[in-house]
Structures are given as structure tokens and as C-alpha cells.
Amino acid sequence: AHPVRGIELLDTVFYRERRAYLVGRVFGEHRFSPCVIVLVNDGQGLRADAVLTRRRDVAHLFGVSRSYFQANLGTVGDAVVFLRSLLPGKPIDEIYTVLGRAKQGKTERYRAFFGHFLDHPQEQLVHAEGTPGMVMAVFTLPSYPLVFKLIRDRFAWPKAMSRQQVEEKYALVFNLDRVGRLLDA
């Protein structure tokens, strides 16, 4: 264990579901670690529910498969830069998205994809591995970590639904049941 030399917290409190999160970093002699204090207000009053100091735990908390954080950020870019310092492996588009800035997240994801595409001009989209879906066609670049889903014009039997019904089902999953299923795209 290394002695703690200081703690730095963002002024903004992040909210999601019934919890509040104080986000910052803990400084040691020659390095720093993320520090997230999870607060709950229950029958016992306000209390710390958890303290996260491992990058992988904080990265999971800021994962795009979870609900957006609600936060009154004066300058979103400053918060993104700070979070990138805590989570250097996390793509910038994911950070914008989880902060509720879906359009900026999409813009950054688009830039990253087309930057990758320009760096690999000979590569072509291919059907993703796995069993083809009845409702969606799924494509990927072999060297890129995301897949792209397109709603088919016609659905294979026994699917008897319209494109609108498919879009409504995806909207339901997107809005109510965000457990690792859908990325804002």
C-alpha cells in the first residue's frame, strides 16, 4: 500500500438511478488512481455505499451499456478530459455518450470509424460471424471492434412484424432495459 498524498474531486455530482457519485482521483507518491464515492440516501439517511478505486470498476460504471448519468456540467469537454485521464483506454465517444451527450458521442464514434476506415482502405465490410438474424443484417470490419446492424426490408418466417414494430422494440430496450445490449448509434 502506498500513502495517499491527496484527493481531487470534480465539483459536479453525477446522478444515476437512486445514487449519487462523487468522481475524482487519489494521488500517491508517483501515480494516481480513480476514486468514485457512491452515495445512497435510504432509510438510514445519506451514506457511502461503495468506494471504487480500480480502473476496471470505474470503467464499468462509465460503460455505455448503462443509463446516462445526469450531471450539471458547466463544460462537458473538461469533464471528458478529466475522465479520460482516469480511463485512458475508454473511447472518447463512450464518455460523451454516458454523460448524456449522445449526439457528440455519435460524432466521435463516426470520426473514429472513418479514421480507422481511412487507415485501412483495402478493408471491406463483411457479414459478422454467427447465425444470421431474421430481422437484422449485421456487418463489421474485421479489424474494428463494433458491428453495424441494419433492419432488413423483409423478415424471414416466422417473423410477422413491420419495420415500425422492430424499431419500437429496439426503442423499448434502449429506454428501459439497458443491460449491455445496445449502443447509442
- 66 sits in the region (left: phi over 0; alpha: psi -120 to 50; else beta) called beta
DSSP one-letter code for 47: E
Q: Residue 109 and residue 97: Cα distance in Å, rounded? A: 10
Residue 93 among the catalytic residues: no
**pLDDT at residue 181 above 80?**
no
Q: Residue 119 and residue 113: Cα distance in Å, rounded? A: 10
Q: Using one digit for the tens of pLDDT, what is the confidence trace for 114-151?
A: 999 899 999 998 999 888 888 888 998 999 888 888 88
Report the chain's terminal Cα–Cα distance, integer Å: 42
Cα 5 → chain centroid: 31
Q: Where are the alpha helices (DSSP H) in 40-132?
A: 55-61, 76-86, 92-98, 102-119
Helix (H) or strand (E) holding 49: strand 45-52
Q: What is the pLDDT of residue 184?
A: 53
Mean pLDDT across the chain:
87
Phi, psi dihedrals of residue 33, rounded to the nearest 5°: -130, 155
Adjacent-strand bridge partners of 70: 15
**pLDDT at residue 170 above 80?**
no
The active-site residue, picked from 57, 93, 119, 184, is 184
Contact criterion met (CB below 8 Å) for 36 and 23: yes
What does the domain layout of the chain look like in residue ranges? 6-108, 119-174
